[in-house]
Amino acid sequence: MSRDERKQLQRALSWADVYKGDIDGQYGPMSRRSMKAWQNANTFAPTGVLTLSQRNGLLADYRFAVETIGLQTVQDMRAGISVMMPLAQLSAAQYTYPFARYAQRDGEQAGALLISQEGDRATLNSLYKIMQTLDSIPSGGERVLQRDNFVINSQNDAIISHTQARLTNGEIKGFTLVWPRSDATSYEMILSQMQSSFTPIEGILKPSDTALGTVDNNLLSGFEILRPKHSRSGIFVADSGLLLTTIEAVEGCSSLTIDRDFSAEVTATDPDLGLVLVTPKDPLSPIAIGRFSTLPARLGEDIIVSGYSFEGVLDTPSLTSGTVTDDKGLNGETNLLRLTLPAMAGDAGGPVLSAGGTVLGMLQEPHKGARKLPEDVSFAVTAEALVALLERSGIWSRKSETTSPLANATRAQTARDITALVDCWG
């Protein structure tokens, strides 16, 4: 057999799910073991050497499956990638840097992406995060990020997806396959062939390689971007990344993340005050943690609130200025502060800071009662109530009696450093 013929046999063994090695046309121990495994599965004597009849039968089955699915070798010169894909079921490539998208003709979210861009390890890490914002890469599943490559495998009731990418000599190349779960057999074969045939060739996509036309900010190369149900703010209260936020931030969530990258869970709740303690599942080191004021808030005191007003659309928290209007709630609640502050829903859970940069309280969700309050009326849970929840949970909190005002820039940076983005995923 010629080397090309041996490579074709390796592809057929890979399709039969008995060979996991490189398609290199070299017969070594792995190739022999795969032949024995195929013989065992097909009730032949497991000799590790295929007879002519066995080889012809395997290749015939493989070619029939290839023809049925429409697998062909694609050489995408713009992306610099050669790979087998089911072209009969895919539309022509659409380029949106750093992807070449081949959409499945009959599937809204299905198809293949070829990944191609110049970059370094930082670029690879960013791409790894970006891929997980796609609706076609469901949450959960296998996620492995290493120094020079990453792999993401996931599925839900509708689709199965696999993504892999590798950094080599300043170029990142890889692919994503998304396929209907109802056609899992075809998915397995397509994935096997894409993995075994994937070959970087000369060429790389550039930022200018983007299809002309109107850009939909909710789409990434034709795939819908996965967005949280809602997002709120939180206050880092421990070096481990533990934070406090509002109970509404975690309602109706199948999962939670902190700052988009860190999985988290609720570990304590105070339903009377609408507070929850959220603990990261992954290692997280906040820039700073909040220092709670031991002094009562003064009426008329100038304050700032730090929060993700636009629910994560902006990468950093926004700051909103206001004043303390009353040291209790509308019904005389002593664990609430009334503020004159035009807050937004995303600000809820954010810290209320004094002039000295200490935490006076945590902003509550906008009032939703039968009576509509003026837009600049907001409420915050007092620092004393926040500390009490932490102490009941066995959490040591940092406190401060400082009254010395900070420079505006310093106070603003302090506010942002202790503020977390809490995302609720459906």
Mean pLDDT on 208-227? 52
Tokens of 306: 């730090």
Domains, the chain: 1-69 (no CATH), 71-226 (3.40.1000.10), 228-426 (2.40.10.120)
Mean pLDDT on 351-368? 91
With CA atoms as reference, report the closest residue to 178 among 281, 242, 98, 109: 109
Each residue of 394-415: pLDDT tens digit?
A: 999 999 887 788 899 999 999 9
Strand partners, 81: 76, 200
- CA 307/CA 154 separation, integer angstroms: 32
Predicted pLDDT of residue 369: 64
Predicted pLDDT of residue 370: 65
- CA 254/CA 252 separation, integer angstroms: 7
Predicted pLDDT of residue 17: 80
Predicted pLDDT of residue 346: 92
Q: Is the pLDDT of residue 109 over 70?
A: no
**Long-range contacts (CB closer than 8 Å, 24 or more residues apart) made by 312-318:** 312/228, 312/231, 312/260, 312/346, 312/421, 312/423, 316/416, 317/233, 317/350, 317/415, 317/416, 317/419, 317/421, 318/347
Are β-strands 275-280 and 291-293 bridged in parallel, bridged antiparallel, or unpaired? unpaired
- Burial category of 394 from C-beta neighbours within 10 Å (exposed 0-12, middle 13-18, buried 19 and up): exposed
**Residues found in the chain:** 426
Average per-residue pLDDT in the chain?
88
Tokens 């013929």 sit on residue: 5
Predicted pLDDT of residue 108: 60
Q: Which residues contact 169 (CB under 8 A, 6 or more apart)?
A: none
